[in-house]
Chains A and B, each alone.
Chain A
Amino acid sequence: MTSLSITLEAVTVPLLLSLKVAGVATLVAALMGISMAWFAAKREFFGKEVLDAILTLPVVLPPTVLGYYLLVLLGRRGPIGGWLETYFGINLIFTWQGAVIAASIVAFPLVYKSARTAFEGVSRQYEDASRVLGKNEVQVFFLVTFPLAIRGILAGSMLAFARALGEFGATLMVAGSLPGKTQTLSIAVYEAVQAGHDQIANFLVVITSFVCIIVLLTSNYFLKPKYREA
């Protein structure tokens, strides 16, 4: 009985933490990714492609390298971390919020890239038509551009969620592996294997796969088009 309850807790705690971290991270990545993608797709400005390369960097860089960057920036002696510490008394290192930052940066390019492609696929003619029909730029975005790009954006966000759920390297560097605090699912698997708790590892792996399959099924459902271009 005791061994079973320990096993259950060993699974539910990292699972819920992972869902929380990945959920918030996806939200952050989606908001940032959608706005940056809109600028890249619909506005002309100097250095656009250089910015695009920088924004895509997190998928290319090894997560540990990214984690190290974050550690340097957010650490107590880092420029951002130091500022937060002195003025707000906030410390992000070894907290779940730190894990969220790591996961959202890793997941960001997945939203950004697919949202940019989706926005570029929305013909200018639809936007011009709504301008002529009396709509301002905010209305054009929410009534026309965004709804026509929503499928690509959702697809990117789903991938971003899956990526955030599986985040390991950068999260470990920034947030560590504190059980119940920052030990996410993927880190818990690693720790369980290292400690020889094969039963827990098996359980965690099955649960992770199950969650990922659900994410993919949901995204397929949302991605079914209800209309096509005439």
Chain B
Amino acid sequence: MGVDVDVQQNFRSGGHDFNLNMQFSCYEDITVLFGQSGAGKSLLLKIIAGLQEVHTGKIIINERVLFDSSKNIDVPSRYRNVGYLFQDYALFPHMTVSENIGFSKRYILSKGLKREDEERVQELLDIFQIKAFSKKYPFEISGGQRQRVGLARALLQRPDILLLDEPFSALDPLLRIQMREELKKIQSIFKIPILLITHDPQDVAELGERLVLIKQGLVSGSVDLANAPYRDSFGKPVRPEIRKILLTAAGVSSA
């Protein structure tokens, strides 16, 4: 079980050339993608979800080939079974919280869900403690609640992987601490690989079990954060060590 990504693409827009060439693997843990803006992190998530075309390479999740240019395999987004949390959550504004969560099981002509799917929506409303808002529209709830709805919606179809595009950037610091804990909880409940983009060193230290450093479209390093020297004997992150690799990756000599 695991995720293998190896993709290459040449983007040309407005006279700029951007070469994307990324290769990494991860397992049933939380992998943090860290890098500067414009390094191609969001692009990578879109490629994995099949929302962005890619030229050559391979994407394999849990032994299922989603993309393989040498065999002409390119599974469409809707069959990839990928959970995706967009940066601003992209909740459907015309649907209530529970309609948003049940969306992946909905058909055009019937507004209701099958009983087992409705039960699953209720279950997720419980897990994320958003039952009280289930009849509200996204504009009526707070940022933290919206994020929970986005996560619940992505998890309803039991995805093989969860892709999170800067999930905490829109939240205030206190809420970030809370949501990091919830994400760890999700990881322990659903046991799927989570791929998370962040700019925040705090996220790397608190959440990362694996760190993938991205620079100008390339994977510049991959670090196992789950063990020494980045975790102490109690499993707590050793911040100075983590800080050191992030600074080195950013091109600042460690002080």
Contact = CB atoms under 8 A, between A and B. Distances in A.
Interface of A: 123, 125-126, 128-136, 138-139, 142-144, 147-148, 226-230
B93 A129 contact: no
A38 to B, nearest CB: 16
Nearest to A139: B108
B230 interface: no
B18 interface: no
Given A132-B51, A134-B78, A139-B108, A125 B137 contact: no
14 contacts: A126-B90, A128-B49, A129-B84, A129-B86, A132-B49, A133-B78, A133-B154, A134-B81, A143-B103, A148-B93, A148-B94, A227-B137, A227-B139, A230-B91
B92 interface: yes
A133 B93 CA distance: 16
Pick the 3 closest A-B CB pairs, nearest first. A230-B138, A133-B104, A131-B77
Given A138-B108, A139-B108, A227-B137, A132 B77 contact: yes
Given A128-B51, A230-B138, A136 B78 contact: yes
A132 B146 contact: no
Given A134-B104, A135-B78, A128 B139 contact: no
B136 to A, nearest CB: 10
A136 B78 CA distance: 7
B93 A125 contact: no
A125 B165 CA distance: 13
Given A139-B107, A229-B93, 11 more contacts: A128-B86, A128-B90, A129-B86, A131-B77, A132-B78, A132-B82, A133-B78, A136-B78, A143-B108, A229-B139, A230-B146
B157 interface: yes
Contact of B93 (A134, A139, A228): A228
Contacts of B138: 227, 230
A124 to B, nearest CB: 9
Contacts of A130: 92, 103
Nearest to B159: A132
Interface string B31-73: 0000000000000001001110000000000000000000000
A136 B106 CA distance: 12
| Interface core residue of A125, A227, A228 (most chain B CB under 10 Å) | A227
A123 B92 CA distance: 10
Given A129-B84, A147-B94, A227-B94, A142 B108 contact: yes
Nearest to A147: B94
Nearest to A132: B84
A125 B80 CA distance: 17
Given A138-B108, A230-B91, A125 B77 contact: no
B210 interface: no
A230 B157 CA distance: 24
A229 B89 CA distance: 12
B153 interface: yes
Contacts of B79: 134
B78 A131 contact: yes
A129 B92 contact: yes
| Interface core residue of A131, A134, A147, A227 (most chain B CB under 10 Å) | A134
A34 B166 CA distance: 36
Contacts of B90: 123, 125-126, 128-129
Nearest to B146: A230
Interface string B94-109: 1000000001101110
Contacts of B86: 125, 128-129
Nearest to B139: A230
B113 to A, nearest CB: 13
A143 B106 contact: yes
Contacts of B50: 131-132
A229 B91 CA distance: 9
Contacts of B82: 132
A118 B26 CA distance: 41
Contacts of A134: 78-79, 81, 104, 157
Contact of A126 (B80, B81, B84, B92): B92
Contacts of B103: 130, 133, 143
